[in-house]
Amino acid sequence: MRMRHKYRKSSAFHCNAGSPCALLAVVWSLVACTLMVQFYCYTRHDDKVEHPIRLNHRPLTRELEEVEEENFQMPPPRGKRSPRAIKRRGPRRPPSAIDEFLDESSELRNFFFPDRRTAIDPFKEGNNSMYFYPGQQWLDTDGNPIQAHGGGLLYDENSETYYWYGENKDGPTYQAHSGGAARVDIIGVSCYSSSDLWTWKNEGVVLPGEEMNDTHDLYKLNVLERPKVIHNDKTGQYVMWMHIDDVNYTKASVGVAVSDSPSGPFEYLYSKRPHGFESRDMTIFKDDDGKAYLVYSSEDNSELHISSLTEDYLDISQPMRRILIGQHREAPALFKHQGVYYMVTSGCTGWAPNRALAHASESIMGPWETMGNPCVGGNRIFRMTTFFSQSTFVVPLPGLPNSFIFMADRWNPAELRDSRYVWLPLTVGGPVDEPLEYNFGFPVWSRVSVFWHRKWKLPDGWRIR
């Protein structure tokens, strides 16, 4: 069993030199130093006996942590590429595997976006029942591809049912103007329900876009992204937060909607800039104590902000903290494990995939520390592109020790409605890879690992609560 980080980082002593208080401080510092050295020796010893990644003897999750390699051969270079593949956003020139991924005429197209024949179909799988196939089409119980992009899950205690909310992008992909990012008009927020996380029933569009009223936030030519829903135990309401923007992403606001039922319909309330700041990619997080938080990319996506929500979850309140300043992260997915807060984020490169990073903090308000890339397996290109996807949510699995589901989107900017879901096992444990800013060389956080699998399923018994 790995020891957890428990000492505080900055507790300043407020007392005058020469007072008994100062002497006490010195004594306590010595005690603290001794404890730290012991802690250091303990954890170092621990590191030696443990495999860096496959760390446990937990039979339930051993299969999830198998490291699976991926043979990924780049095709020989060709003269011609699709114009879309050439014209892309992003400050740095990414490896050419990403160009290949974004090129709809690539020989590898069917590798990244396998066709309908291999779709996950709850009625045709037979012996493959319950297997997740990251990147393959995923059909609902009506036989239609699931439309819940940039989404998140809610486990509803009342109905003991999972609800998956996401963007319905089942319309034509186009550019609003030359140089604009590929987009689909707002259709609305879709909702699907499931009791096993694999068989999903379409509950319809629970927050529809607005067809006619062009002053409405949800007017079809605007932007609605990353809807997330949490339940307020005090009011009994289901509260949805989402990114609201205009076609050029200059409105940079959050929107709020509310419903008495997890399957809607949701009533749209309003949008605002939290504390007056820009807000683009975002998520919400409900803590064990019933407090909820909004996490959003701000200041031109150069930093994240975390803000408390009001008790009814319908507005933001104080305090607000700026975190990961200057790190340019988006697509935050937050979760909590054994009292520690973790977050996975992506870089900011438009629809193109990039390297994920994991972060940890003892307090949700920070300081947050960056621990490196959580992706394990596949190959280097897979790990540098988050398996060609972007984080959106992390699903807790209370029945499985240290295990979660990492939910990500494999965006298809040539045909956004055909963007795929990449669900993979995420575990917490083992030493982190990168030295940390505040920890004086002590391995205080546990590693967050997302394991690549072409095909995987939750072990039997994951629902034991």
Ligand X SMILES: *[C@@H]1O[C@H](CO)[C@@H](O)[C@H](O)[C@H]1NC(C)=O
Residues near ligand X (CB under 6 A) are 127, 177, 213, 215-216, 246-248
Residue 181 CB, shortest distance to ligand X, in Å, is 11
Mapped onto helix, strand or coil, the DSSP state of residue 449 is strand
Q: Which is nearer to ligand X, 73 or 178 (CB)?
A: 178
Residue 246 CB, shortest distance to ligand X, in Å, is 5
Q: Which is nearer to ligand X, 226 or 251 (CB)?
A: 251
Report residue 240 as tokens: 């949805």
Q: Which is nearer to ligand X, 225 or 303 (CB)?
A: 225
Q: Which is nearer to ligand X, 53 or 181 (CB)?
A: 181
What is the rounded CA–CA span in Å between residue 406 and residue 427? Answer: 9
Q: Which is nearer to ligand X, 209 or 429 (CB)?
A: 209
Which residue in this structure is represented by tokens 């051993």? Answer: 62
Residue 177 CB, shortest distance to ligand X, in Å, is 5
The phi-psi region of residue 107 (left if phi > 0; otherwise alpha if psi is between -120 and 50; otherwise beta) is alpha
Residue 183 CB, shortest distance to ligand X, in Å, is 12
What is the rounded CA–CA span in Å between residue 398 and residue 464? Answer: 8
Q: Which is nearer to ligand X, 8 or 177 (CB)?
A: 177
132: Cα separation from own chain's centroid: 18
What is the rounded CA–CA span in Å between residue 72 and residue 58? Answer: 31
Query: Which of the 8 DSSP states describes residue 55?
Result: -
Residue 249 CB, shortest distance to ligand X, in Å, is 9
Pairing of strands 446-451, 375-376: parallel
Q: Which is nearer to ligand X, 241 or 341 (CB)?
A: 241
- Residue 433: half-sphere exposure toward Cβ, Cα within 13 Å: 11
Q: Is the peptide bond before 265 cis (omega within 30 degrees of 0)?
A: yes
Tell me the residue ranges of DSSP E strands in 157-251: 161-168, 174-175, 182-183, 188-194, 201-208, 223-231, 238-245
Residue 455 CB, shortest distance to ligand X, in Å, is 14
Return the amino acid letter for 365: M
Instruction: Confirm if 140 and 158 have CB atoms less than 8 A apart.
Output: no
Q: Which is nearer to ligand X, 14 or 177 (CB)?
A: 177
Q: Which is nearer to ligand X, 268 or 406 (CB)?
A: 268
Range 306-312, long-range pairs (CB < 8 A, 24+ positions): 306/364, 306/365, 306/366, 307/274, 307/275, 309/284, 311/234, 312/232, 312/234, 312/235, 312/237, 312/239
Residue 216 CB, shortest distance to ligand X, in Å, is 4
Q: Which is nearer to ligand X, 63 or 210 (CB)?
A: 210
Residue 310 CB, shortest distance to ligand X, in Å, is 22
Other beta carbons less than 10 A from residue 308's beta carbon: 18
| Pick from 191, 187, 194, 154: nearest CA to 169 | 187
What is the rounded CA–CA span in Å between residue 59 and residue 44? Answer: 25
Biggest alpha carbon–alpha carbon distance for the chain:
78
Instruction: Confirm if 128 and 145 have CB atoms less than 8 A apart.
Output: no
Residue 265 CB, shortest distance to ligand X, in Å, is 16
Report residue 81 as tokens: 């590429």
Q: Which is nearer to ligand X, 92 or 177 (CB)?
A: 177
Residue 250 CB, shortest distance to ligand X, in Å, is 6
Mapped onto helix, strand or coil, the DSSP state of residue 188 is strand
Q: Which is nearer to ligand X, 177 or 234 (CB)?
A: 177
Report residue 249 as tokens: 């992403």
Residue 213 CB, shortest distance to ligand X, in Å, is 4
Residue 400 CB, shortest distance to ligand X, in Å, is 24
What is the rounded CA–CA span in Å between residue 295 and residue 357? Answer: 16
